[in-house]
Amino acid sequence: MAASFRKHQRLLTARDYRTVFSCVSVKAGQREFLLLARPSTQPHHRLGLAVAKKHVSRAVRRNRIKRIARERFRQLPPPAVPLDIVFLTRPGAGELDKAALATGIDRQFRRLIERAAA
């Protein structure tokens, strides 16, 4: 059974998101999406998803992006530096196929963690 995306692993409130947006210390991204992060007050990484209807019009595609992002997030190694991460879509995110999306998200999560540790 796949690991679940538990409540303690999520950014839950507008305040959590606002804190990340106002104090971004690390960024990683590509043309279709962007990851913003800051050191977390929790002992583990937390993820917030902002998949805009403006950028990905079809609900099926938005849900696929969120599902893949959560799946890749769960596979991150235990944190040396725990981060609060916000995943943002950009125009064209809905056009990526599943494999390209998963590969891109993995690469950007690795870059983000490497930059935070440096």
Give CA–CA dist 97/21, Å, rounded: 28
Q: Within its chain, how far is the Cα of 15 from the centroid? A: 17
89 by DSSP, 3-state: which?
Answer: strand
pLDDT in tens, the chain (118 residues): 456 778 889 999 999 999 999 999 999 999 999 999 999 988 999 999 999 999 999 999 999 999 999 999 999 888 888 999 999 999 999 999 999 999 999 999 999 999 998 8
86 by DSSP, 3-state: which?
Answer: strand
Global model pTM greater than 0.85: yes
